[in-house]
């Protein structure tokens, strides 16, 4: 028997049929043909930041500094069909894309052999959230949490300092500087918990590191981050 939610989805599919973001074919957001050519981010990678690393050991950047995040994993390189899909989700209000993209991200948690207790999205500053109307990272986190049967907390971590988006922040140094002190967690929910942090794109890792620092300062036991894509 169809549930109410299934009937709603069926009606929406009839009124607004899904189109592949890669080729425009009707039927799904990423058709089988385009899915077969997605820009997967494959090993060898740095075991901490997830950047391609021929040796498969810590990259020079990670070897030279401590981190509040155990590991960052991304399903794809930020290009091609995946770049188009994230653009649709993030800027074109195609929120229904979130579960499709989340399905590619969830397996990363098992690959890194991590057993999280909470799922948290990277938050947006309230001014940007008002302008966009939704946080794409929260939509992804909700779908991932459902797949993993884990609680999703969307109000535990807060962005308290506004700033440019990471893609508009210029150099790597500017991106790291722009997120210093930008996030705050005062909620005891994360205390002694293994946290899974979710975002759409990892650019330099600065945002994830800043969020991880805020979570660890609030007592989180461990933080691992997953994203749909990574700029390489």
pLDDT over threshold 90, residue 8:
no
Tally of structural domains, the chain: 1
Cα separation, 97 vs 21, whole angstroms: 10
> Mean per-residue pLDDT for 70-83?
98
Read off the pLDDT of residues 13-65 as tens digits, 9 standing for 90 and up.
Answer: 555 689 999 999 999 999 999 999 999 999 999 999 999 999 999 999 999 88
For residue 118, tell me if it sits in a domain.
yes
Our measurement of the distance from residue 160's CA atom to the centroid of its chain's CA atoms, rounded to an integer in Å, reads 19
CB atoms within 10 A of CB 192: 10
Read off the pLDDT of residues 132-158 as tens digits, 9 standing for 90 and up.
Answer: 999 999 999 999 999 999 999 999 999
Range of the domain at 65: 38-230
pLDDT over threshold 50, residue 2:
no
For residue 104, tell me if it sits in a domain.
yes
Our measurement of the distance from residue 77's CA atom to the centroid of its chain's CA atoms, rounded to an integer in Å, reads 13
For residue 2, tell me if it sits in a domain.
no
User: In 139-177, which positions are buried (b, 16+ CB within 10 angstroms) versus exposed (e)?
Assistant: bbbbbbbebbebebbbebbbbeeebeebeebeeeeebbe
pLDDT band of 167, cuts 50, 70, 90: low
CATH of the domain at 82: 3.40.50.2020
Q: What is the DSSP letter of 22?
A: T
Read off the pLDDT of residues 90-123 as tens digits, 9 standing for 90 and up.
Answer: 999 999 999 999 999 999 999 999 999 999 999 9
DSSP string computed for 140-184: HHHHHHHHHT--B-SSSSEE-S----GGGS-SHHHHHHHTTT-EE
Model's pTM, two decimal places? 0.90
For residue 97, tell me if it sits in a domain.
yes
Q: Tell me if 48 sits within 8 A of 222, measured CB to CB.
A: no
* 14 Cβ neighbours under 8 A, 6+ residues apart: none
For residue 1, tell me if it sits in a domain.
no
User: Is the peptide bond prior to 97 cis by the omega test (within 30 degrees of 0)?
Assistant: no
Kind of pairing between the strands at 183-184 and 158-159: antiparallel
Q: At what angle do helices 136-148 and 98-111 cross, to 10 degrees?
A: 60
User: In 57-88, which positions are buried (b, 16+ CB within 10 angstroms) versus exposed (e)?
Assistant: eebebbeeeebbbbbbbbbbbbebbbbbbbeb
Q: Tell me if 219 sits within 8 A of 189, measured CB to CB.
A: no
Angle at 139 between CA 138 and CA 140, to 5 degrees: 90
Query: Nearest-CA neighbor of 227 among 185, 187, 199?
Result: 199
For residue 13, tell me if it sits in a domain.
no
């Amino acid at each position: 028997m169809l549930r109410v939610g299934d009937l709603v989805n069926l009606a929406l599919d009839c009124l607004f049929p899904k189109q592949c973001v890669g080729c425009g074919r009707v039927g799904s957001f990423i058709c089988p043909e385009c899915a077969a050519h997605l820009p997967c981010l494959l090993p060898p990678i740095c075991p901490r930041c997830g950047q391609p690393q021929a040796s498969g050991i810590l990259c020079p950047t990670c070897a030279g500094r401590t981190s509040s995040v155990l590991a960052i994993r991304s399903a794809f390189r930020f290009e091609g069909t995946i770049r188009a899909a994230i653009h649709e989700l993030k800027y074109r209000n195609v929120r229904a894309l979130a579960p499709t993209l989340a399905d590619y991200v969830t397996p990363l948690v098992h690959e890194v052999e991590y057993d999280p207790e909470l799922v948290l999205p990277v938050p947006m500053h309230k001014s940007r959230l008002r302008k966009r109307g939704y946080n794409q990272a929260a939509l992804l986190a909700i779908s991932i949490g459902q797949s993993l049967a884990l609680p999703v907390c969307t109000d535990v971590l807060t962005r308290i300092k506004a700033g440019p988006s990471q893609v508009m922040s210029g150099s790597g140094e500017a991106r790291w500087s722009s997120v210093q002190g930008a996030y705050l967690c005062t909620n005891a929910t994360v205390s002694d918990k293994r946290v899974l942090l979710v975002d759409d794109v990892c650019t330099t890792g600065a945002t994830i590191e800043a969020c991880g620092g805020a979570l660890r300062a609030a007592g989180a036991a461990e933080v691992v981050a997953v994203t749909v894509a990574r700029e390489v």
